Amino acid sequence: MEAYASSASLPSLICSHRSKPKFANSHSSSVPTAPSQPLLRTTTSSKFKLFSSPVSVEVPLEAADASATAAFSSGDEEKFDWYSQWYPVMPVCDLDERVPHAKKVLGMDVVVWWDRNENAWKVFDDMCPHRLAPLSEGRIDPSGRLQCVYHGWCFDGSGDCKLIPQAPLDGPPVHTSKRACVAVYPAIVHHDIVWFWPNSDPQYKDIFEKKKPPFIPELGDPSFTKIIGNRDVPYGYDVLIENLADPAHLPYAHYGLVPTQPLKEKRDKEGGRPVEFTVKKLGVEGFDAELGFGYSKFHAPCIISIHTHIPSRPNEPSIERKTALVFMCIPVSPGHSRLIWVFPRNFDVWVDKVLPRWMTHMGTNLLLDSDLYLLHIEERKIKEIGPENWQKACFLPAKSDGLVVGFRRWFNKYADSEVDWRGKYTGELPPTPPREQLMDRYWTHVVNCSSCNCAYKCLNAAEIILKVVAVAIIGVVAATKQGVITASTRTGLAILAALCYAASKWLAHFVYDNFRYHDYNHSFPEKVMLFLRIFGLGIAL
């Protein structure tokens, strides 16, 4: 895919934006839902129309930019209410029922814990009403209640305080005070993921009966196998969705990591090609789009999904092979977001029963790492020019950017190009940390993934065992007197010790590369391809 850049206008946009005053993160209250609006209207003469077939008449590029600018203009439209939506928190398979878990969504600190008395996952405000200590640092007591470990206050699944150890038994029942309760958010398990509603008002207690999280047919079909995972990334929610809605970048930013179909005539070694996306309708709830190989949906605010059919293999029963890429993008805080991915398919189901989940995550993490730094820097460029000027700074003449433009228009039209943090943040992005910290895998994924965390501990233990065995063998050989064992046996044991030590060093490098930090150099992608071949890794989609 040919890349275009509009570098001439970028400096002027940066200068003009810096001279403008800062705006507060405020939003108007929501109003009743309006019917979905068509995504884009453009003049009929432009060669660079984004969502209709290109025509042969050429026009100056300024006309295309003007058309794109008009498409992003926002009028008196209904505004998206960020706090009247369901948000995915974490896959159930990555939550330990024995301990509470701290999570952040929309800048809100919440604690997720398993209430065995009600057999349900609960989502509370992560703050004890006593002295505001984080409940996520607490424990589940023998009675199945959430206990704050600062002073031992205990709470049931309804958020009611059931025990204040410091209160006298013969005194007033101070634990029954409303001020002793914890805010409880509606929570539900949907598609094997814990979701919560970010409003603790009692009127939303049964919100699930009125409004449910988005339903993805492939995730509700038991004939599909599902690869699921999660990772925190050091760039914002809007940049994350924009990137995932852009398949055209795959042959370049992820060169050698994602298989591509052979082309009769390649423009370059990566194999980029024209890709067509047609956004059919756009409204406050998201949009639908047709792809050349399937369809896509954006369920505002979190889910972008791509659904496709794959031709049957030769000598294979003629079944309709379906697969999908489901990405759940969660706003965490400015400059931080969380991705939950689910890759369902109804063929080769046996593979996921044999291949450990942590091995598929190695490939997915390598994919995420390969453009992580690009997106982190891109977000700062967008911040410099101002999100409202995105369409002026970016030149998008190809239809392959259709989903990206669709999302940016939704973000601009219904959300004023910003997440509603309700005054928790100034809007400034955090400073860029050192590269090794920026691309860290351990704290952003391994500790939050039950499969990778277990593999990490087991592989580390195996490394230590190999070292101990190597040292023990050398010790035995050194302590054994001459003549007790033959020279050939002594040599064999020495070789075995050397092999054990070498294996421990290799394993240490393997663990560090796949569970701690793996840099990606786009100038030498062949090294990454060699790494994949050596360890037999693939991206399981």
- 268-287: average pLDDT: 83
Identify the pLDDT of residue 499. Answer: 96
* Residue 529: band (very low, low, confident or very high) from pLDDT cuts 50, 70, 90: low
Looking at per-residue pLDDT, the higher value among 54 and 300 belongs to 300
Q: Per-residue pLDDT tens for 128-151?
A: 999 999 999 999 999 999 999 999
pLDDT one-digit tens code per residue, 156-166: 999 999 999 99
Q: What local confidence, expressed as pLDDT, does residue 264 receive?
A: 67
Whether pLDDT at 43 is above 60 = no
Say which DSSP state 485 is in: B
Question: Quick check: 31 pLDDT over 70?
Answer: no
In terms of pLDDT, which residue wins out, 257 or 303? 303
Contact assessment for residue 80 and residue 415, using Cβ atoms and an 8 Å cutoff: yes
What's the pLDDT at 260?
A: 67
Ranges 78-92, 167-181, 212-226, 304-318: which has the least confidence? 304-318
CB 282 within 8 A of CB 300: no
Is pLDDT above 70 for 152? yes
**Res. 361 pLDDT band, cuts 50 70 90:** very high
CA distances from 369 to 361, 436, 510 (A): 12, 11, 16
Residue 11 has what pLDDT? 33
Question: What Cα–Cα distance (Å) separates residue 510 from each residue in 233, 258, 289?
Answer: 22, 21, 41
**Is this prediction's pTM over 0.75?**
yes
Does residue 72 have a pLDDT over 60?
no
- State the pLDDT at residue 320: 82
Which pLDDT tens digit goes with each residue over 468-527? Answer: 999 999 998 888 887 788 888 889 999 999 999 999 999 999 999 999 998 877 777 655
Q: What is the pLDDT of residue 316?
A: 67
CB atoms within 10 A of CB 132: 9
Region 66-71 average pLDDT: 42
Residue type, 287: F
224-249 average pLDDT score: 94
Out of 207-221, 354-368, 421-435, 527-541, pick the least confident. 527-541
What tokens does 454 get? 């277990």
Q: Are 450 and 501 in contact (CB under 8 A)?
A: no
Beta-carbon contacts of residue 27 (< 8 Å; ≥ 6 apart): 79, 82, 415, 416, 420
Confidence of residue 317 (pLDDT cuts 50, 70, 90): low
For 239-256, how does the pLDDT look when each residue is reduced to its tens digit (9 = 90+)? 999 999 988 888 888 877
Looking at the predicted structure, is the pLDDT value of residue 396 above 80?
Answer: yes
Angstrom distance (rounded) from CA 222 to CA 220: 6
